[in-house]
Structure 1
Amino acid sequence: MRIVVALGGNALLRRGEPMTADNQRDNVRRAASALAALIGEGHSVVITHGNGPQVGLLALQSAADPDGGSFPLDVLGAESAGMIGYVIEQELGNLLKERLFATLLTQVKVDPHDPAFAHPTKPIGPVYDEAAARKLATERGWRIAPDGDKWRRVVPSPKPLAILEASVISFLVERGVIVICTGGGGVPVIARDDGSLCGVEAVIDKDLASSLLARQLQADMLLLLTDVDAVYVDYGTAAARALRRVSPKELSGKNFAAGSMGPKVSAAIEFVEATGNSAAIGRLEDAVEIVRGRQGTTFHA
């Protein structure tokens, strides 16, 4: 099968873990092992990944420049995609020495009038307690929001409309190349009146971009990997129940956390409804068993 595999930010850097190069490398090595097992099953895999912690850290570092030469989020998104893609490609290559890999910076078109620009929701960067988050928001002009029991900076997250390098990705995949792309949801760009492109200050949701990519590549499956074993209803309560095999209709009226499981469920539903193929959500280390239908949550038409 052709599978678009989306690695969640928590799969690359665990919640609350210091954002160091060594920690990221260790987590990517763990992810590479799971991906190598999936590729070993004979599947054609396209890999996407999140960048929320990394792009937030780069934004902090950029803002600390004493000369005020901070970079916009689209540039920082490209920087983080290159950094993470490099490590994923290297660690996978160490395990699969006979395979070809390519890490591709990916531009994703968005609508300049998307209402998301007025209502930031995408969490990026480190987590803070509420007092520290409010202090930073005042000092830096940030928008902040709760993220579990902590607080984080939030930025606009417009809906992805088109993966501009989809034809290049397809060309490589059809020749057996394992492509790492659409990092951090891709670099958000808009089209000017003359048709030229320019970046915008936003971070696209990786899961929604991965769903769009899977549709454009005519993938057989969309696999969303995170640090939770399945989709739960009533998550965090005594009545919590894992869903194993569901249709989009069965989830009608159910709400999932906007900063975590919500986008994954929406991405899975979009893919299933558009293609009739399956999508799945589950833990990184269960990747092979999720594809076999034995773990995680599978969405069917």
Structure 2
Amino acid sequence: MGVSTSGSLLLIFFGSFIALGAVYTATGNTTEAFSEAYESHLSTQDTIAETALSLEATYHETDGNLTIRANNTGSQDLAVSDTTVLVDGVFRAVSRFQIATVDSQDTDLWTVGTQLRLENATAEPGRVKVVTGSGVAATAAVDVMGFVEDNPQTLDRTDNGTDSTIAFDIETSYDDNVTLTDVSVDGVDGEDPARINYSNDPSLSELNITLAPDHGTAVTTADGEFAIGETIDHSGVVLSPDGTARYRLGEFRDSNGDPVPMPLTSVTVTITFLDPEGVERTFTFTEGGF
């Protein structure tokens, strides 16, 4: 009887000990998990506090491209792959952008003080939002920039009775300087000129560019014989915000070398320029109002 009672008590004691150990282990694991979660929360809060962005977005009417420039202005390095973009509230994966670079480098590391550039062809948007992996976001309205072509004319610069030179103005809507670099006449409808050349008057330049307001002395010229469709390079012309440049191109000649009358023609022209960030872009238009 005494032995049986003692054995029972011993079993109860060991059972209680094991149960207490299990409770302690569970409590310890719960406390450790809570501690880790709390530390992770504090780390996330620190990341959020150290993350900051500045954002600007431009839609280039000339080529239909949207450019987003996001600057890492915080004290926390970021990852491009963790970044989310919304364009007018619609999700755009960073991987879908044709250009996704950090300070012109193809890298996933978006370090402090660097700029993420995203660019893609799209319809004209109104707003963009960039969200980092930690949820910090910046929103910007989209600035629409480009050129307007105006004031088409035909001229008889050689006094031969034929208006075989064209002139037109382009005005920039960019809010900073752009640089004009070259031009080409891509095609002419209504006549069939083969080249541009003042063969009988070497004192005239085939390309002549002046600037408003007076359009006096040419800021650049190009001389030579240029085929239709050929790119005419010239020294860079800096066009300030809301500035206007006037182009004169001539003399248009057919395959026999005779001047071609340009009134009533439709001319397609491409102008290449550097935007305010130094990115090469093109502006193509067709003018049928000569």
Q: TM-score range by the shorter chain?
A: under 0.3
TM-score, length of structure 2 as denominator length: 0.24
Q: Which structure has the higher relative contact order (CA within 8 Å, separation 6+)?
A: 1
